[in-house]
A = this chain, B = another copy of it.
Amino acid sequence: MAVYTDITEDDLKRFLDQYDVGELTSYKGIAEGVENSNFLLHTTRDPLILTLYEKRVEKSDLPFFLGLMQHLAAGGLSCPLPLPRKDGALLGELSKRPAALISFLEGMWLRKPEAKHCREVGQALAELHLAGDGFPLTRPNALSLDGWTLLWEKSADRVDEVETGLQDEISSELEFLSAHWPKDLPAGVIHADLFQDNVFFLGDELSGLIDFYFACNDLLAYDVSICLNAWCFEKDGAYNITKGMALLEGYRAVRPLSDEEMAALPVLARGSALRFFLTRLYDWLTTPAGAMVVKKDPLEYLHKLRFHRQIASVAEYGISS
C-alpha cells in the first residue's frame, strides 16, 4: 500500500502525449497494490490508472500480464484494460520505470463479504478460467512446490520464533505435498491472488477483477483452493461452510469441477495455505521493525493449513456432489 515513485508533470505530459486519452486534469498517488506505484488520473475523458512497475516485478513478465488483461477483457471478463499507445505498444517508460496506462474500473472491494458475494466470486473465477483459454503466452508459477522449498530454506532456521515446533511441522508438510501434489488435473491461466481487495463490487454486484500480477499457468482447481482460503474463513479462524458452498456452487455453475479436481481440493488447499504462510513468514522475518508496512500474520495461514489437513471428506467444504 504505497506510492514508491513520484512523477513530475513534465515527464507525465510527455508520457501521455504518446496516448490518445484526452487532457490530464489531475493525478493522485493511490494506496493500492503492494508491488507497484499506482496513480489515479482524471482526464477530460475517462479516469485512468497509471502503473509504474517497481523492482519486485520482473520486466520480462509484463507482456504476459498486460496481454492477459487484454485477452480476458476481449473474452468478456470485466477487468482493467491496458490502453495501447498511438504506436500500438502496451508498455512505455516513465520516471525510469516500465509504465502502463490502464482503464479505471469502478467498484469497491468488500471488507465484510457475505455468502452471496462468495458465490459471485466463484462464478467470476470460473469465467476467468474459461476466458484465459487460448491465451498464447505462458508463465510458470514461481510460487508452487519448488518456490515453496526455496522460501522455506530461507526461513526454516528462524520459524520457531513464530511458534515452537513449526520447523518439523512445515518440513513434514512440504514432504507430504511433494509426494501427493496432483499432476493430471486441468491447467490453464490462473489469477493466483484473488483476495478480497482484488474483487470489486457495485452494491451487491461484482463489477470486476483486478491485479493480475501473480497470474500464471497452473492447475485451475488450485486457484479455487486459493479463493476458499481467502474468502471462506471468518476472522476467528473458523471455516464458513455456507460461504464455501456458495463459492463452489458459483464456480461449478460456470465451469464444472471433475471428480478428480474435487477429490484433490484438500491437498490443493493445503498447498495454497502453505504458499501464503511461507511468503508471509518470509516477510515477517525480514521486514525491519518500525517499517510502516502492515505485516500480515503468517499464523492465519498456518491455522488454515491445519484445518485442511484434518479434512476427512470434501463434503466438509460444502460440496454436495
Contact = CB atoms under 8 A, between A and B. Distances in A.
B25 A106 contact: yes
Interface stretch (A108-116, A137-145, A309-317): A108-116
Interface string A97-119: 00000001111101110000000
A255 interface: no
Interface in A17-50: 24-32, 40, 42, 47
Interface stretch (A3-11, A84-92, A181-189, A256-264): A3-11
A39 to B, nearest CB: 9
Nearest to A200: B26
B32 A28 contact: yes
A134 interface: no
Contact of A2 (B27, B42, B292): B292
Contacts of A253: none
Main secondary structure of the interface of A (DSSP, over half): loop
Interface stretch (A64-72, A237-245, A283-291): A283-291
A150 interface: no
Contacts of A290: 288-291
Contacts of A24: 108
A187 to B, nearest CB: 34
A162 interface: no
A57 interface: no
Given A202-B25, A289-B290, A292-B291, A31 B3 contact: yes
A293 interface: yes
Nearest to A9: B108
A112 B31 contact: no
Nearest to A47: B42
Contacts of A6: 111
A26 B292 contact: no
Given A110-B9, A111-B9, A290-B290, A1 B28 contact: no
Nearest to A293: B292
Contacts of A28: 28, 30-32, 40
26 contacts: A1-B29, A3-B31, A6-B111, A8-B111, A8-B112, A9-B110, A9-B111, A10-B112, A24-B108, A25-B106, A26-B105, A26-B107, A26-B200, A28-B28, A28-B30, A28-B31, A28-B32, A29-B31, A29-B32, A30-B30, A30-B31, A42-B47, A289-B290, A290-B290, A291-B291, A291-B292
Interface of A: 1-3, 6, 8-10, 24-32, 40, 42, 47, 104-108, 110-112, 200, 202, 288-293
Given A28-B32, A290-B290, A291-B292, 5 more contacts: A1-B3, A26-B104, A26-B106, A28-B28, A291-B291
